[in-house]
Structure 1
């Protein structure tokens, strides 16, 4: 009989629990142990046997954002890896399954290597998860589609609001998550239907930009449009400098604040009323904007992890592979954890600097039911005979 410990690590998502439930509903004839609060729980041996009552309760969280088992980030020291193996061995656990992003897969690979060095037969499987979509060796990761759906709606709605208020306020700078990559920021233009619609400019970390260039862009948008909705990834670098941060935690830079920094510059240099908007944690944890496609894939990735357990695969992460053809399809495979760890952050490829091509790629992931907005009377002008015409 397999004795399996399962945990969740890193930032939670809207569909993280769907992967957990997919795994629990598929795994059979095994002892299942839950790990509380991610890798901290492994180090502190905060591991408990999930009885039938707990397993039934977990099912209720399939469509709930967050992390049912508790997640978070925990800085592991070198001797913690040996401690983790010791704790698993004491409980008789021979399989470890964890959901997470880049840092989680690096850590799982290290745990796998440590177990091999200590001659402990530990099966290790990674379930991908990240809203940033920066993981190597997978087309995308569960959590990203729902976050992209939220951002596309939020930016469109904020832009409509600004269009209505342009005699009072001219510029809004909307800051998205994404760390050092632009996948999320790029998704902000998915619902843009007309050239006058926001966002009017999108800035991603992969494309170098200067403050002077941003000021020039905004001046042009204002002249043509009367107002400017600007989307900025939290990880953009201005003038070849460094990311703007709000501090560090356990040596990890916490990015944020670039929108407010630029709002002050725009106000000062262009004399335009400017407001910064940080979309915040709701990007990754909104139940209202869960993509049903994302949820479906998250659940099936969990099911695939259970399948890999009984195929005795180890040292691997599940990978989502996009099918060929115009109609979206996907299938699941697996890749070595070592390869994922070495792949680092997956940046937005140059072909997607053309945001129309990017929108074609991302559209299936955000799911169906996207609502179009009609053009408003604002931004139209009267013709000589008094009729309203589109500018």
Structure 2
């Protein structure tokens, strides 16, 4: 199998697998219990917290474990909105955010908050002038993703944070597609809250975290016990937390070499695609994009059918449209950058990891070329 859908999820690393396999069988104590066995598990949770904090140049007490990116996004928006409603009820986000952010904004709008949705250019860059015009004294939060999950465009995080802070608003970034792939210093970039998910960087599914700068208030999203400094109830997924921390340490241990290797494969893939497939174009930024990510439009094909055909050949990619019953629904991201419906339905996403290699690229390009030629002849 050739797996080129790493923006959706990644395989867990061998080391993560080994640690979790042993832990699931032998280390099942509740870290909140009072006996020594449980206290040993608590130490492992706190070590994982410290290890993840180190990757962000943050403090351990600024890391809160969650079930993943969607919960972290929901908590950041809804928790801050509630905690700071005395300052105002206005939030700002972009039109190309993940649904976890957009749906949270919809919820807040139904509950008396106002949300401004900033537009993007045809490559997915946030329109900073619109943001400057939209920010106001009663804005409590600006939420803009670090790297777009569909088209790979990287946002100008430091500048966006600066604009947010100009009106004493907080800045949250959904870094699900960036954490584990880019060096992120929350202090230098001006990030107040950051969401991440373990399964995007070779950790387990079902676990993530929210970074919250020390001193910022936040209301709980989940009520119950006193876990996670009394703001996120629920027994900790100890083994998952440890697995995520191990994956994070692995991701940043040899970051420069691994990221360069993946980028070189990505660039080779794009070169081969241009040389072998007619009427193919890049979607999003050419240079300022996630180094492991390609989004391309292939004229004259239906992306969903193409993905199905490749899937039968054990090649995994994703598309720019989703199947909703018997209808194709074009991605809100591709709509926001001004793509026509026809082009959006001809767009695929290819995303790589350190477990891919150049032989897979050659095989993929040949299979894609053959499949596209057949589809164009038929349709």
Whether these two folds match at TM > 0.5 is no
* Structure (1/2) with the larger helix percentage: 2
- TM-score w.r.t. structure 2 length? 0.29
